[in-house]
Amino acid sequence: MQDQDIQKAMPSIRQAVNDVETIRRDGKGPTGELVLFPHLPYILSEDLLMDEKERQQLAKLEASATSIDVVVSIGIGGSYLGNKALFDAFCGPYWNMGLASERQLPQVFFAGQNADPESLSALTRYLEVKAKTTEKQLNIVLLVISKSGSTIEPMSAFYALYPRLSAICHVEVITITDKQHGLLLSQSQEKHWMHFSVPEGIGGRFSVLSQVGIVFCALCGIDYREMIQGAKECDQACQGKDWKENPALALALFRYLATVSRGVTAEVVMPYGDRLNSFGRWYAQLMAESLGKAKNRQGKTIHYGRTLVPSLGTTDMHSMTQEHQEGPNNKLIQFITVQNMDTSMPVHCQEGNVTGTVDIGRIMKTAQRANAEALASEQRMSCHIALPAVTPRTMGGLFYFFMLTVAYEGGLAGINAFDQPGVETYKKIMHSYLKGYMSGK
């Protein structure tokens, strides 16, 4: 980026800063809608998003987590992607194969993230077999997450799992839904299920730092207090009006300039390390729903946004890098690395006539550095964010940092980053078809 690009964008920078300041101060988005995500770093100390009753329920959940055998987190979109990112970061692919029992914590499964009968049936069969082959009665928690209380995929999964498992297991239902309205809220009140709210002013794509992610953490033994502390530290570091002193504003500015001045139409988010794989998919929803907009605030058609492509280093260096390096120069590659991994594993390495011992983690870091330098050699854009380690605190900061970047970029582009009108179009068509099917039409 050149100085003249930044100088030309100064009016947009001032608008973005003013937008985020207004949201922080008044809780109002560009068109007056309630936007409260800047309060997420303070959710455990303020009563705006979480009340004392919910904090007491959280304490009970933490205390009872070791008595739970299985947690099934049921949700889709923001009600799934954030929790899956947390699971991958702190539990991992081998959690249900023994690590959970070693730590006296529940196995964790996900359902309702797709309308796929085969995967839901397979999960049901697995839990039925586990219940029949376990000496004591299986204690299962169904964590049902739907702000509206009527989202078709998770509610269908719940209606499939609840009666089948209740017949052979002890099933406890915990719901996270709207505080005042909806079918799921009514059922929770009628059947006395433990209920948490999805706060008003917190869209699904911002909800990982709300009750949606916090309750999941409490059930899985993840330190949600440290996660929220990380978000708070990020918020305090990103208050400046000068882009040089505000990392979230700086990244938003460079992405915006890349989009409007350099022809960037795609963004590849490429974390290095399996623990961050699902983070890329969480970020894909955040960016797509926040920034993919047909019109600006004046009603002019601009079709702003970038196609988000989640990928994984080093895995996708062996599948996608050829296109990144020699395909159309229309991409920004967003690298995320971890400086200090929890585990080291030295292995034999041979490069030409040189042999030695190299830690696998160093191979990963070297691969990312080489990838960035190769892209730069062809004048292709990349950005690098390095986490000191994968901890609840750094993940809380990372989640919140990207939330701030889309808020700032929405201001820079003159769009509303807090609505999602395009999502409603397909929903109306789908519900019409389903209604017709059930009516025999």
Q: Which residues are catalytic?
A: 289, 318, 427
The length of the chain is 441
Q: What does 380-429 look like in DSSP terms, one character per residue? A: -EEEEEEESS--HHHHHHHHHHHHHHHHHHHHHHTS-TT--HHHHHHHHH
- Identity (one letter) of the amino acid at 417? A
Tell me which amino acid residue 22 is. Answer: T
How many of the other CB atoms lie within 10 Å of CB of 284? 18
CA distance 164 to 389: 41
Distances (CA, A) of 193 to 80, 142, 189, 190, 215: 20, 11, 7, 8, 14
Distance CA 9, CA 20 (A): 17
In which element (H, E) is residue 64 found? helix 52-64
State the CB neighbour count (10 A cutoff) for residue 399: 25
Whole-angstrom distance, CA of residue 155 vs CA of residue 149: 8
* 149-to-74, 84, 185, 414 alpha-carbon distances in Å: 12, 20, 7, 32
